[in-house]
A and B are shown apart, each in its own frame.
Chain A
Amino acid sequence: MWLTSKIKQILMVMKPGIVTLDYPGQPAPAPAAFRGQPVWDHHKCLGCGGCANHCPARCILTRDVCQELRVMLYDGSRCTYCGRCADVCPEDAITMSNNFQTACDDKNDITTRMELFMLTCQRCGRCYEMEKTNVIDRMELRGFRYDNLESRALIRQTTDTFSPEALAATEHHQRPSR
């Protein structure tokens, strides 16, 4: 019994042989449907902030520096590559590329920062409601937003009109520490 098992085991190992890939010697591209690093198309993005509202990792931040300028920042160091941002984007400005080789020694290399010039809506400044029929996904944060880009923190607070005080207050925002 012992011997037959061992013979079977030798055959089991011999048949497939060596299966280790010669990566990175040979490139091993990810399939087309792969959810890799998200890429923003700044021509299409209209700065609605829907991706920032729905990012489970909270790694997309939105900050209004003034009435006309909105900064969108994607912090790739925390991204979980779930692809939810690409799902909810109404303009298809986000695509999940198949780039998975994102290791780097400076996290700014995998950070995307867009400065968008915003036209002002006559009624509320920033009006956009996403997926109108979907109550569960309805846009929560509208108006002007003041996430802290320095400490990469999302601040769930908005104002209807641009408020320099709110901007100044969130600049001092700190994560809790011991």
Chain B
Amino acid sequence: MRKELEAQLAAQLRDEVVCVEKTDQRTIFIDVKREAIRRAVRIVTEAGGRYMCGVGYDNIARDGTLGMVHTFSMDHNDHFICVRTKAPAIDPVMESITPDLPSAGWSEREFMDMLGMQFTNHPKPKRLVLSDDWPAGIYPLRKEVPYDLVPPGAEDVAYQLDEAPPGTKIVPIGPFHPSLHEPEHFAVYVDGETIKGCDYRGFMTHRGIEKLCQTQVSYNEVPFIAERICGICGSVHATAFSQAVESAGGIKIPRRAEYIRTLMLEIERIHSHLLWLGVAGHLIGFDTVFMQAWRVREQLMWLCERLTGNRKTYGMVLIGGVRRDITPEIAEDIRRVVTNIEKELRVIHRAIEKDSSIHKRTKGVGTITKEDAIAWGLIGPVARARGVDIDARRDHPYAAYNDMKFDVPVLTDCDVWSTLVVRVLETYEAIRIIHQVLDKLPAGPIFVELKDKIPALRHAITTVEAPRGESTHYVITGEDNRPDRWRVRAPTYTNLQAVPLMLLNEQFGDFPIIMGSIDPCFSCTDRVAVIDMASGKARSMTKRELDFMSREQLQRG
């Protein structure tokens, strides 16, 4: 793999390729000069690379440059390819790859904000992460900016929305809205009730976790903070971070610890999918599903309480292993609970699979073709419901997944209904994996003491299949017993970029469930403001009106 790529790159880019190296079994790093970045990325994409994320890092103290890494996954032969380049900090300009790869748009915008990089020919060089009143010229991820800087606020700045297509009106949704769990702002352009476009302004709860972990805490405190990136896929982030550091430092953890990590990840998947099933039912106004799915989920929360000491944020994963062991009694307890969950989930599944009212709200809604799904780099159940057969557990096996037998459900209906079915089927698979883990659980220690110092400035990348899709972590190890750079790319980061495409030509009443189908986060305030652009008047819409609209939609469908 490395040789073929190197030959291709050398033939096309000649001396603009600095080096091609393979750091471990699956990771290939390609260093190119910044002039050649776009062409190098094109070669990798043609070789079958699927874009994962971009990672910018500050290297000013060492050689006066800002680094940029574009990471790719080769799903068919288990490789990660990282195309690295750097630009001097006084002139941090490089060519944008977004015209070729639309899913790179956010990664590049993020580092325009956070590191002050500039990307030429970027189709939408607007602010993404920083707030509108953040002063220009302060780039928070640069090392010289303190982690606790609080610049003065300003009142007279606002985000400029994209221009609305002619003949449309703008419906702002959020920052607080019943179908959004976290503060995010969507400006939906509607013609009548048909959505004609959408602009997104989010990152309103950006907590600066990456900066915090790069400057304040030490390696083994990060897993606990990583766990709090997401309330639902906590173990995923802790595992991904730990694996990245273990991979960078060449730490081999005991096999039993890997099995226990697998177990926790699968328990989390069951939890997340049941939660999503309930929320999806709630979003289409079918609260019976919501109540029953969450009733089934509750016994899993109690199980986790007995197993890890907490209902969520399990705190099981550390660099070097896991914290709590699985005793035979608790193993029996796990088996009993998951068997019961499987039984009860089948009851729910049978009760809703042929329900025509659910079909009306979800079938043919939020469609996006397989080609578009690949072009936008969709991941997780959202992609698998569009016929894209990817799953990091199978394609890049980590923890104990290479010992597990499981199917990856893939459907080709391309709509919200198939994401629902994919998630339910995946829950059954997760239960199958849990039984296998408990059957095969090897004896031995669960934690390995770290004898050597973790070497500085090693790069490592890992992905972990979260319930919502793969979550990618990129770590550059540092000198002060903490990472020099830690980049987290959660699955929603990728999937949310394709939401405008999913919404296109859909009914406005379907917005909540389309949004919900990618499993972002939901919240509960009960009004949206409708602004009539023609008259300039704003009026509020109550929850009752929204419900009414959604019911009308149902009757029409």
Contact = CB atoms under 8 A, between A and B. Distances in A.
Given A2-B355, A35-B309, A135 B148 contact: no
Contacts of B348: 12
A81 B315 CA distance: 9
A30 to B, nearest CB: 7
Nearest to A138: B481
Interface residues of A, number: 40
Q: Quick one: which of A2, A9, A35, A177 has the most chain B CB within 10 A?
A: A9
Interface string B337-371: 00000000001101110111100000000000000
Q: Quick one: which of B224, B324, B453 has the most chain A CB within 10 A?
A: B224
Given A13-B292, A33-B309, A83-B309, A137 B220 contact: yes
Contact of B221 (A11, A54, A131, A135): A54
B32 interface: no
Contacts of A5: 351-352, 354-356
Contacts of A8: 347, 350-351
Nearest to A32: B306
B450 A135 contact: yes
Given A136-B218, A136-B450, A4 B354 contact: yes
Contact of B149 (A96, A137, A176): A176
Interface range on chain B (Cβ under 8 Å from partner): 35 or more
Contacts of B149: 176
A80 B454 contact: no
Contact of A83 (B150, B315, B354): B315
A9 B306 contact: no
Contacts of B449: 131, 133-134
Given A133-B449, A178-B150, A56 B221 contact: yes
A36 B324 CA distance: 16
Given A5-B351, A8-B351, A35-B309, A176 B450 contact: no
B355 A140 contact: no
A175 interface: yes
A82 B320 contact: no
Contacts of A133: 449, 451
A19 B305 contact: no
Contacts of A11: 347, 351
Interface in B216-244: 217-222, 224-225, 228
B295 interface: yes
Interface string A140-178: 100000000000000000000000000000000001111
A33 B306 contact: yes
A138 B306 CA distance: 30
A155 to B, nearest CB: 12
Nearest to B348: A12
A26 to B, nearest CB: 15
Q: Quick one: which of B307, B308, B351, B450 has the most chain A CB within 10 A?
A: B351
A31 interface: yes
A84 interface: yes
Interface string B462-489: 0000000000000000000100000000
A173 B555 CA distance: 63
A27 B33 CA distance: 66
B452 interface: yes
Contact of B352 (A9, A131, A138, A176): A9
A12 B343 CA distance: 12
A87 interface: yes
A16 interface: yes
Contacts of B320: 136
Contact of B288 (A13, A30, A138, A140): A13
B224 A56 contact: yes
A177 B352 CA distance: 53
Contacts of A121: none
A31 B306 contact: yes
B357 A31 contact: no
Given A135-B451, A140-B481, A12 B224 contact: no
A11 B346 CA distance: 13
B542 interface: no
Given A9-B351, A56-B225, A34 B451 contact: no
Nearest to B319: A136
Interface string A67-81: 000000000000011
Nearest to A88: B220
Nearest to B219: A136
A177 B305 contact: no
Contacts of A6: 355
B137 interface: no
B153 interface: yes
A1 interface: yes
Contacts of A16: 292, 295
B323 interface: yes
A25 to B, nearest CB: 18
Nearest to A57: B224
Nearest to A33: B309
A54 B150 contact: no
Nearest to A6: B355
Nearest to B303: A31
B515 to A, nearest CB: 25
B323 A80 contact: no
A122 B102 CA distance: 65
A177 B150 contact: yes
A178 B224 contact: no
A162 to B, nearest CB: 25
Interface in B428-468: 449-454
Contacts of B323: 83, 87
Contacts of B481: 136, 138, 140
A135 to B, nearest CB: 5
A6 B315 CA distance: 41
Given A30-B305, A84-B221, A84-B224, A2 B150 contact: no
Interface string B311-326: 0010100011001100
26 contacts: A1-B356, A6-B355, A8-B347, A11-B351, A12-B351, A30-B305, A33-B309, A35-B309, A56-B217, A56-B221, A56-B225, A80-B313, A82-B315, A83-B315, A84-B221, A87-B323, A134-B449, A134-B450, A135-B454, A136-B220, A136-B319, A137-B220, A137-B450, A175-B148, A178-B150, A178-B152
Given A1-B354, A2-B357, A12-B288, 14 more contacts: A8-B350, A12-B347, A12-B348, A33-B308, A55-B221, A56-B224, A81-B310, A87-B323, A134-B449, A135-B454, A136-B319, A136-B454, A137-B220, A138-B481
Q: Which 5 A-B pairs have the closest CB atoms?
A: A35-B309, A8-B351, A5-B355, A56-B224, A56-B221
